[in-house]
Amino acid sequence: MSKLAPLGIAAGLALSLTAQATPTVEELAEIVAAQQEQIDALQRNPSASRTHIGGYGELHVNFVKDADNAVDFHRFVLFFGHDFNSSLRFRSEFELEHSLAGDGAPGEVELEQAYIEYDLAPGRVVRGGLMLVPVGILNETHEPPTFYGVERNRVEARILPATWWEAGMAYAGTLAEAGLSYDLMVHSGLAVDPDSISIRSGRQKVAEATANDWAGTARIRYHGVPGLQLAASLQYQLDLSQAADDGVDDALLFTTHAIYNRGIFGVRALFAQWDINGDKAAETQRDRIGGWYIEPSVRPDPRWGLFVRYEALEQKRDAEETNTVAGVNFWLHEHVVIKADYTVRENPDDPEVKSVNLGLGYQF
């Protein structure tokens, strides 16, 4: 039936009612039903519902002992998505970091996701484009209301390095009865400086990136018990510096994590480690880079929760950095959070850093 037909029925009934002094209850019910059918049809209008907008953001204030305090609108992110049909969709994430971008400005405008996703079958999809690499906890799920602490943990920021996106193709699926999900991704690789071998600085962000040597990532996650997630990822990079004969060769990243939420209690733990081949990597003691953290938490009320987190990471052998963080989240709404924490950072090369941090975050 035409979408306009209900309007016609309603109009016809209305006209007939004008000829009668008082409509019956049945006639009124029929008019209302016809109008409702039209409303429903309008709400199903594909052009109105196929394009989606979302976003998240976070403002941070850092009070640092014996150093300058800082205030920063750290991330302002917009999601744009479009469903071409029920099986083919586009998803993207566009970010302004540190509020101001441009020459000499502290921030960056970044395209962090832009991919096409196609449903192969129930529970199985293939993606192509610019995507988040399936490693760790925060790399894919980092909206502020979903995690504790004003700043993201340093293990995932420095070692994985979140947020980490690459261009490539991915295949993902679920085995529902077994409680398993899996991801396979073939993608562009890092390009670390052979002198510093900084993993985080090696992100090319798919910006006119060198693509001589690609990489592959596989992940498996287990959700077979309510509240539990166990995951492991393995990634192989053909050449971590994208250049031959520079002393930095292929590399393997292994990461695993566990998340368990039971009632008001929760705990997250993660381990990540790079094994990097090459003479220069060995000479500079950066052939093994890694770290771990554990974060127990309690949420006595949906509106607030407490946590502590201990992080240990080595970006060079025998140069361990530790971070101890304790704090609180207040959720004004399930999608709006106020955060406060106290952080102590220690490493062998720098003085101890103590800070009180405040944050305001949202998602929609």
> Which residues lie near other proteins (CB under 8 A)?
33, 36, 39-40, 43, 52, 54, 79, 81, 83, 86-87, 89, 91, 117-123, 125-126, 137, 140-141, 146, 169, 171, 174, 176-177, 179, 181, 186, 214, 221, 223-227, 229, 259, 261-263, 268, 334
Instruction: Choose between 119 and 246: whose C-beta lies nearer to other proteins.
Output: 119
Q: How far is the CB of 194 from other proteins (least distance, A)?
A: 22
Burial 78-99 (b: 16+ CB within 10 A, else e): ebbbebeeeeebbbbbbbbbee
Q: For residue 332, give both structure tokens.
A: 């004004």
Instruction: Choose between 58 and 140: whose C-beta lies nearer to other proteins.
Output: 140
Q: How far is the CB of 279 from other proteins (least distance, A)?
A: 26
Q: How far is the CB of 26 from other proteins (least distance, A)?
A: 15
Q: How far is the CB of 334 from other proteins (least distance, A)?
A: 6
Q: What is the 3-state secondary structure (H, E, C) of the chain?
A: CCCCHHHHHHHHHHHHHHHCCCCCHHHHHHHHHHHHHHHHHHHCCHHHHCEEEEEEEEEEEEEECCCCCEEEEEEEEEEEEEECCCCEEEEEEEEEECCCECCCCCEEEEEEEEEEEEEEECCEEEEEEEEECCCCCCCCCCCHHHCCCCCCCHHHHHCCCCCCEEEEEEEEEEEHHHCEEEEEEEECCCCCCCCCCCCHHHCCCCCCCCCCCCEEEEEEEECCCCCEEEEEEEEEECCCCCCCCCCCCCEEEEEEEEEEEECCEEEEEEEEEEEECCHHHHHCCCCEEEEEEEEEEEEEECCEEEEEEEEEEECCCCCEEEEEEEEEEEEEECCEEEEEEEEEEEECCEEEEEEEEEEEEEEC
Q: How far is the CB of 146 from other proteins (least distance, A)?
A: 6
Q: How far is the CB of 73 from other proteins (least distance, A)?
A: 23
Instruction: Choose between 92 and 285: whose C-beta lies nearer to other proteins.
Output: 92
Instruction: Choose between 64 and 228: whose C-beta lies nearer to other proteins.
Output: 228
Q: For residue 30, give both structure tokens.
A: 């029929």
Q: Are 222 and 179 in contact (CB under 8 A)?
A: yes
Q: How far is the CB of 273 from other proteins (least distance, A)?
A: 22
Instruction: Choose between 179 and 194: whose C-beta lies nearer to other proteins.
Output: 179
Instruction: Choose between 251 and 270: whose C-beta lies nearer to other proteins.
Output: 270
Instruction: Choose between 63 and 304: whose C-beta lies nearer to other proteins.
Output: 304
Q: For residue 335, give both structure tokens.
A: 């999608």
Q: How far is the CB of 193 from other proteins (least distance, A)?
A: 23
Instruction: Choose between 227 and 351: whose C-beta lies nearer to other proteins.
Output: 227
Q: How far is the CB of 101 from other proteins (least distance, A)?
A: 26
Instruction: Choose between 126 and 294: whose C-beta lies nearer to other proteins.
Output: 126
